[in-house]
Structure 1
């Protein structure tokens, strides 16, 4: 189900140059792609389906039929804005001043959606003895390319916890202080650093941003549960994209 149609840029028309080419990327500097469920369910791609299943036979008809069952899920998840993931180490972009990002996590035979809120922000107020109203802050602007990893931190030992590794920032939208930020001074750790784990600010201290995919609570469901698929895929196919 994690199959995608991509464009590859090559040095010449010679098919032999395909292996040395690179995937075409979109404005967000991640590979441009059409997910397999979109190909399976959209009549516009009927000729592509025929090539994949009958001409090249790279996709079994049974798999294409399964992908078609997930087509409406992909539509409801906003195909253009959703980050489609299937493995740890798979890069995607995060605008640091955006409140919500939707992920479609694709497994062997299912697709689960997760909407994460305020990945790069923190709030002040409403702490014990704090009379200030709750206020959400986005201290940093820019867009970063990052990936999910299974946490190897000691405090997460024995748990299925995902963390975010910062890979780089976009040249056209670099990391910088948010000019509209009016909150308290922030520690330097909150500025994303290439190669480091993404940090957040909780309980008035810098902490590693992390999600426990198995955590349960009586008040609400675990929004991180869909990322359990990444652990399942790692066991089935290998750990990294």
Structure 2
């Protein structure tokens, strides 16, 4: 089932856990069908206030590989809440399809400029990478499931960067590509990457690997 935006319809678990009107739904999920452990429902209730007061509005709630969600390709930040057996982790992925040209150093001939070459909202899902270059690592990639009629895939009218490689245009059924080191590359994120310069923004997606081992590999 989809809503009027052609996006999969859902009610986030913190809303079900926190709003009294969803008490019958909570009972079905925890006691009748037993599809949601009481421990997880209690955990979701702890996050209800953040959801209710707007901190998490627009956040995509994920629990499994293959779970579809909408992804605006010309947005700077995309927020996710990844729900595990005993914790919820929040991730913010920046500039998924954008790239920059120029130099960040003042006085250089070409100033730093960030480009968003494609405009669209697509339905995607996370998958564990099966690419040879990621063998033995926990790496997530994005699979494009379909485009949306109300926001189709098209060149960004304000784009002023270099020619766009055709691989950057998302295609249904294919992995999402990005532009790095002047080449089209599969967008990928290592959930276990560590470094002293900055934290790993993809670390929360480790929960998807944990859930796959605990419950199965797909949504």
Same fold (TM over 0.5): yes
2:3 alignment partner in structure 1 = 26
Tell me the secondary structure at the aligned position of residue 119 of structure 1: coil
Tell me the secondary structure at the aligned position of residue 100 of structure 2: strand
Q: Distance in 2 between matches of 1:76 and 1:229?
A: 25
Trace 1:1-241 onto structure 2 (pairs within 5 A): 23=1, 25-46=2-23, 48-49=25-26, 56=32, 58=34, 61-75=38-52, 78-126=55-103, 131-241=109-219
Number of aligned residues: 216
Q: Distance in 1 between matches of 2:33 and 2:170?
A: 44
Q: Distance in 1 between matches of 2:110 and 2:75?
A: 24
TM-fit CA distance, 1:34:
1.6
TM-fit CA distance, 1:127:
8.1
TM-fit CA distance, 1:75:
4.5
TM-score by length of 2: 0.88
Q: Distance in 2 between matches of 1:76 and 1:222?
A: 27
Tell me the secondary structure at the aligned position of residue 123 of structure 1: strand
Tell me the secondary structure at the aligned position of residue 149 of structure 2: coil
Q: Distance in 1 between matches of 2:118 and 2:195?
A: 31
Give a deviation string over 1:169-223, Cα, whole Å, max 9, x none. 0012110111111111111111111111111111111111100000011011100
TM-fit CA distance, 1:33:
1.8
Tell me the secondary structure at the aligned position of residue 167 of structure 2: helix
Contact 1:200–1:209 (8 Å) recurs in 2: yes
Q: Distance in 1 between matches of 2:29 and 2:128?
A: 33
Q: Distance in 1 between matches of 2:104 and 2:42?
A: 51
Q: Distance in 1 between matches of 2:80 and 2:54?
A: 8
Q: Call closer, same or farther: CA 1:194–1:151 in 2, change over 3 Å.
A: same
What runs of 5+ residues in structure 2 fail to find an aligned partner? Answer: none
Name the larger-Rg structure: 1
Contact 1:94–1:143 (8 Å) recurs in 2: yes
Q: How much is the aligned-residue C-alpha RMSD, in angstroms?
A: 2.3
What runs of 5+ residues in structure 1 fail to find an aligned partner? Answer: 1-22
